[in-house]
Structure 1
Amino acid sequence: MMDIINKQLPIPLYHQIKEDIIEKIKNGTYKVNEKIPSENELVKLYSVSSITVKKALLDLVNEGYLYRIQGKGTFVAKPKISRVLTLMSFTEELREKGLKPETKVLEINEISNSVIAEKLNLSPEESITKIKRLRLADGEPIAIQTSYLPSKILANVASEQLEQMESLYKILESIDIQPYAAREEYSITILNEKELYTLLKQKKGVPAFSVKRITFTKENVPFEYAESILRWDRYSIEVELKSEY
């Protein structure tokens, strides 16, 4: 039988093991939520030390390919949703990846907030519509998004439309407001607020992606400021870089 890893290559053994396990996840040999072979079984399979196997598995857990249950073993994690920096709506983004999007509107309120007003180029006292939503993929909560829009642009939108919305951008397109450009800021946050980790079905203290975004029309007018919390175990961030030469 041909060796699965090649000890003559200059590639570290743990990395070769990682690549082999990733390939088995991708081709369905190891299925989502299925237990993979134990560390001892992998040591025999790859003919390497337990330290090498532990290193490979730890990396795969940290990278989101696997997860561990104490006393039970190591299992295949659900694939992460690769979030490409794009103007595509959440709904379109998930559908493109073969996932079923769902939105639960948590809150719709009229507020005044001078800090947010400044981001939207509004006067401090102008009314702002706050829309807080729980976003789900295949029935699983993966993000909490809070959008702030100038109330005046929603004047002709029925409250029922907002309360039952699937896609905010579809509603905005119906009133001739389309995203043309956006500026996003990414950071890592910790889920310490009970509402956040409860809605996302996470444990207190786990990390999450925090995304702050201002979206502009073609005329460079900001029409939405949004703050999103994304589950770290379901998202990865993908950035495409191109040379100017």
Structure 2
Amino acid sequence: MWKTVSADLLQEVLAGEFADGFPGELELAQRYGVSRGTIRAALKPLRDAGHITAHPGRKPTVVAGRSTAYGPIYSVLASIRESGMKHASVVLEQHLVTNPEAAAKLSLPPEAELFHLSRIRLADDEPIGLDQVWLPAATAGKLLEADFRDASLYGELDRRCGVVLDGGTEQLTAVLASPAQALLLRCAEGSPLLLIERTGCHRARDLEFRRSYVLGDRVTMATAFGCKANPPRRD
């Protein structure tokens, strides 16, 4: 039931139905004739995918930019849950570091302290990608307390730090798996990988630098634009 409710709400979000405000849990429970627990389960993938944001004691709100706010790599990872596959992560690193290259991407001095998260993303226990991200520690330090074995980075960034990314840039490059990457991703050395480098921003400030290596033979990416992205409504 929660999947049906979630899919219905997603279609309404993408169609711009909630421009004047997103309904609360009680209102949605009455609308669909289900429990509030079912509504919470239905809203979770919408929050995780960046379509809505919610804080304790507040109504959810629709995120500007919706499905495009976090870019294609996040859409791929969020779609694991939506497809019914089992999602998990193996956390390799989760600590504060200094990294001059990442700091430069965020327009910070080389010695700036950064929160760093590195993890392998799994679908039905099979690796699909290696994800590495850096954010300013001053903004994202509370993420040290999060359990990222299953949690969404953007969901935790919203919940713990009150930050929702609202734009950014991405660059996609075809690369070959190094020996270390091949070991982590359980693939042959030299296997095709899609490297996605992105800089995410919040209120025109660069806040996230990410490198994601996705296995080319385990993931297909698709997007829509123009009339396909915004189909005409029929009364």
Same fold, judged at TM 0.5 (above): yes
Alignment: residue pair count: 157
The equivalent position to 2:180 in structure 1, one of 167, 177, 195, is 195
Offset at residue 163 of structure 1 (A): 5.6
Q: What is the correspondence of 1:9-28 to structure 2 with a 5 Å cutoff?
A: none
Unpaired runs of 5+ residues, structure 2, are 1-66, 228-235
The equivalent position to 2:165 in structure 1, one of 179, 187, 209, is 179
SS at 2:142 equivalent = coil
For the Cα contact (< 8 Å) 1:134–1:144, is it kept in 2? yes
Distance 2:132 2:206 in 1: 16
Q: Which residue of 2 aligns with 1:212?
A: 197
Q: Residue type matched to 2:215 in 1? A: R
The equivalent position to 1:170 in structure 2, one of 143, 152, 155, is 155
Q: Residue type matched to 1:128 in 2? A: L
Q: What is the correspondence of 1:73-112 to structure 2 with a 5 Å cutoff?
A: 87=70, 89=74, 91-112=77-98
For the Cα contact (< 8 Å) 2:69–2:165, is it kept in 1? no
Report the aligned-residue RMSD: 2.2
Offset at residue 96 of structure 1 (A): 2.0
Q: Which residue of 2 aligns with 1:117?
A: 103
Q: Which has the larger radius of gyration?
A: 1
Q: Which residue of 1 aligns with 2:221?
A: 237
Distance 1:101 1:165 in 2: 7
Offset at residue 97 of structure 1 (A): 2.5
Q: Which residue of 2 aligns with 1:152?
A: 138
**TM-score normalised to structure 1 length:** 0.58
The structure in which a higher percent of residues are helix is 2
Q: Residue type matched to 2:219 in 1? A: Y
Q: Which residue of 2 aligns with 1:70?
A: none
Distance 1:129 1:107 in 2: 10
Alpha-carbon spacing, 1:160–1:227, altered in 2? closer, same or farther (3 Å) = same
Give % identity. Answer: 25
Distance 2:216 2:141 in 1: 36
Q: Which residue of 2 aligns with 1:221?
A: 205
Distance 1:164 1:140 in 2: 14
